[in-house]
Amino acid sequence: MGQITRLLTWDNLFLGGVVLAVIYLAIIPVAVMIFGSLQSGLPGTFTPLTVRNYVAAFGEPLLYRSIGNTLVYSVGAGIISFSLGTYLAWLTERTDVRFKGFIYVSVLTAMMIPGVLFTISWILLISPRAGLVNVYLNALFGVGEGLIDPYGMAGMIFVSGIDDFYTPFLFMAAAFRSMDPALEEASTIAGAGTRTTFFRVTLRLMMPAALGVWLLIFIRGLEDFEVPALLGIPVGTYVLSTEIYLTVRRPPSDFNMAATYSMFYLGVAMLGLYLYHRWTRASDSYAVISGKGYQPRVTSLGRWRPFATLSAMGLLAVAVYLPLVVLAWTSFLPWYGPPSAALAKAMTLENYLWLAEDDLVLSSLKNNLIVGFAAAAVVTLFAAVVAWIVIRTRLPGRRLLDGLAFSGTAYPSMVLGLALIWFYLTVPIPIYATLWILIIAYVTKRLPVSVRICSAVLVQVNRELEEASSVAGAGFLRTFTRVVLPLLVPGLFVSFATTLTISFKALSIPILLGHAGTELMPLLIFDLFESGEYPKVAALGVATIVVITFATAAARLASRRVGVTAPG
Partner 1 sequence: MIEVSHLLKTFAGGDVRAVDDVSFTVAAGTIFTLLGPSGCGKTTTLRSVAGLERPDAGAIRLFDETVFSSDARVFVHPYRRRVGMVFQSYAIWPHMTVMQNVAYPLRGREFSRGEIRERALKALEMVNLGELTERPAPALSGGQQQRVALARAIAGDPRILLLDEPLSNLDAKLREEMRGQIRQLQRKLGLTSLYVTHDQVEALSLSDVIAIMDGGKLIEMGTPRDVYLHPRSRFAAQFVGLTNVVPGRWQATEEHGLARVETPFGPIRYAAAESESFAAEDAVLVLIRPENIRLSPGSAAGDSNAWSGRVASTTFLGEFIDCEVACGDRMVRARVSPFHGVEEGAEVQLRVEPDRCSVIADSPAM
Q: Which residues bind to partner 1, rule: CB under 8 A?
A: 462, 464-465, 467-475, 478-479, 482-483, 486-487, 489, 562-563
Cis (ω within 30 of 0) for the bond into 252? yes
Q: Which is nearer to partner 1, 11 or 60 (CB)?
A: 11
Q: What letter would DSSP give residue 564?
A: -
Please, what is the minimum distance in Å from the beta carbon of residue 167 to partner 1?
32
Query: How far apart are alpha carbons 484 and 14 in whole angstroms?
Result: 15
- Listing DSSP states for 385-446 in one string gives HHHHHHHH---TTHHHHHHHHTHHHHS-HHHHHHHHHHHHHHSS---TTSHHHHHHHHHHHH
The answer to whether the CB of 85 falls within 8 A of the CB of 167 is yes
Total residue length of the chain: 568
Please, what is the minimum distance in Å from the beta carbon of residue 458 to partner 1?
14
Q: Nearest 5 degrees, angle CA 347-CA 353-CA 357?
A: 155
Please, what is the minimum distance in Å from the beta carbon of residue 9 to partner 1?
11
Give the dihedral sign, CA 251/257/263/269. negative
Q: Which is nearer to partner 1, 348 or 460 (CB)?
A: 460
Q: Which is nearer to partner 1, 6 or 303 (CB)?
A: 6
Q: What letter would DSSP give residue 481?
A: I
Please, what is the minimum distance in Å from the beta carbon of residue 397 to partner 1?
18
Task: Give kind and range of the element (H or E) at residue 90.
Answer: helix 61-94
Q: Nearest 5 degrees, angle CA 395-CA 396-CA 399?
A: 95
Q: Which is nearer to partner 1, 147 or 489 (CB)?
A: 489
Instruction: Residue 50: name the closest of 216, 256, 202, 235 by CA.
Output: 256
Please, what is the minimum distance in Å from the beta carbon of residue 460 to partner 1?
12
Q: Which is nearer to partner 1, 483 or 500 (CB)?
A: 483
Query: How far apart are alpha carbons 158 and 453 in whole angstroms?
Result: 31
Please, what is the minimum distance in Å from the beta carbon of residue 453 to partner 1?
18
Q: Which is nearer to partner 1, 233 or 474 (CB)?
A: 474
Largest Cα–Cα separation, the chain: 88
Please, what is the minimum distance in Å from the beta carbon of residue 103 to partner 1?
33
Amino acid, res. 560: R
Residue 209, SS3? helix
The answer to whether the CB of 23 falls within 8 A of the CB of 444 is no
Please, what is the minimum distance in Å from the beta carbon of residue 471 to partner 1?
4
Please, what is the minimum distance in Å from the beta carbon of residue 486 to partner 1?
4
The answer to whether the CB of 296 falls within 8 A of the CB of 93 is yes
Please, what is the minimum distance in Å from the beta carbon of residue 464 to partner 1?
4
Q: Which is nearer to partner 1, 300 or 462 (CB)?
A: 462
Please, what is the minimum distance in Å from the beta carbon of residue 482 to partner 1?
8
Residue 202, CB-side half-sphere exposure with 13 Å CA sphere: 22
CA gyration radius for the chain?
25
Please, what is the minimum distance in Å from the beta carbon of residue 465 to partner 1?
5
Instruction: Residue 85: name the closest of 209, 256, 250 by CA.
Output: 209
Residue 95: phi and psi, rounded to 5, are -130, 175
- Listing DSSP states for 41-76 in one string gives S-TT-------HHHHHHHT-HHHHHHHHHHHHHHHH
Instruction: Residue 315: name the closest of 80, 119, 135, 148 by CA.
Output: 80
Residue 157: phi and psi, rounded to 5, are -65, -45
Please, what is the minimum distance in Å from the beta carbon of residue 489 to partner 1?
7
Instruction: Residue 523: name the closest of 539, 540, 535 by CA.
Output: 540
